């Protein structure tokens, strides 16, 4: 029995980096209670233990480990603030005489409705998106523009704007690409291409006009389970393979979603 007691005391006397052991800590706590002799000693036991630990705390000895390398770096606040300031200043400028303001969806009102349902964007993010839509409308001369949605991606999220040009832009010079096989592609302003879609990763940045969608891309979108990644950075690896760069991926997904989704109360309406 004496050997077991000796081994137990030796184990309790093992110290940490600050030279404190369980044995010395319990001794200090009991000495504090015996010195003060409170009426509620059991209730003060945890407080005395915390006080004893705090007396040995050395802030200089505490080291904060670095973040793992796989975590993404925090975006610089200065750059975000500078972009937001430029965006708000651009939106605040009055329109030139004779320039008509197109129709822009009231995102703040829509945000309130989504908030009642328990989801949506924050008030600050909503206003940045609204300011981005106003800037987009002024730059592209759009007769109407609204936020189609926010898509959560792997390395970055991106925002989709649905718009109609006040006057269609002129076609780029050069030879037109050959039409894809199969069903003919609907012209801009008709069918699935009735709207023009713009995408960006930051409402204060540049909006990218997505190309017109083809029937083949809409068919492929139903077979592609990939999560969206950054726009137009590399080819989409999927089966069936897509024959064009990735800027066509959000375009076909958005138009397919617009034409294929219906939301109805469960059990109340039949389609």
Q: How many CA atoms lie within 13 A of 247 on its CB side?
A: 11
216 vs 135, residue with greater confidence: 135
pLDDT bucket at 254, cuts 50 / 70 / 90: low
Q: What is the mean pLDDT of residues 87-115?
A: 81
Q: Which of 35-49, 96-110, 120-134, 163-177 has the highest mean pLDDT?
A: 120-134
pLDDT of residue 176: 62
Question: How far, in Å, CA of 27 to CA of 252, rounded?
Answer: 72
**Domain map of the chain by residue range?**
100-168+185-260
What is the model's pLDDT at position 239?
Answer: 45
Q: Is the pLDDT of residue 57 over 70?
A: no
pLDDT bin (cut points 50, 70, 90) of residue 246 is: very low
Highest mean pLDDT among 64-68, 168-172, 211-215: 211-215
Distances (CA, A) of 143 to 63, 137, 208: 58, 8, 18
Q: Determine the pLDDT at residue 99.
A: 67
pTM: 0.56
Chain mean pLDDT for the chain:
76
| Span 199-213, average pLDDT | 90
Burial class from Cβ neighbours inside 10 Å (0-12, 13-18, 19+) for residue 257 reads: middle
From edge to edge, which strands make up the β-sheet containing 103-104? 103-104, 142-151, 158-165, 196-200, 208-209
């Amino acid at each position: 029995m004496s050997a077991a007691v000796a081994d137990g005391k030796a184990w309790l006397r093992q110290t940490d980096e600050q030279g404190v052991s369980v044995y010395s800590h319990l001794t200090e706590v009991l000495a504090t209670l015996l010195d003060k002799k409170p009426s509620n000693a059991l209730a003060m036991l945890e407080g005395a233990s915390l006080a004893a630990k705090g007396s040995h705390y050395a802030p200089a000895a505490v080291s904060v480990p670095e973040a793992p390398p796989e975590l993404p770096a925090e975006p610089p606040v200065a750059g975000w603030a500078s972009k937001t300031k430029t965006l708000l200043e651009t939106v605040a400028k009055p329109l030139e005489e004779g320039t008509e303001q197109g129709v822009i969806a009231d995102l703040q009102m829509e945000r309130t409705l989504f908030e009642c349902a328990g989801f949506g964007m924050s008030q600050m993010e909503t206003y940045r998106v609204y300011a981005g839509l106003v800037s987009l409308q002024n730059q592209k001369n759009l007769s109407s523009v609204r936020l189609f949605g926010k898509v959560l991606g792997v390395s970055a999220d991106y925002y989709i704007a649905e718009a109609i040009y006040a006057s269609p832009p002129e076609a780029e010079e050069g030879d037109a690409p050959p039409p894809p096989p199969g069903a003919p592609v609907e012209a801009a302003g008709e069918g699935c291409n009735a709207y023009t879609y713009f995408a960006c990763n930051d409402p204060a940045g540049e909006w990218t006009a997505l190309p017109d969608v083809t029937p083949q891309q809409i068919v492929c979108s139903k077979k592609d389970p990939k999560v969206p990644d950054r726009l137009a950075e590399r080819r989409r690896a999927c089966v069936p393979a897509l024959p064009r760069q990735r800027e066509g991926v959000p375009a076909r997904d958005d138009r397919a979603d617009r034409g294929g989704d219906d939301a109805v109360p469960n059990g109340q309406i039949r389609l």
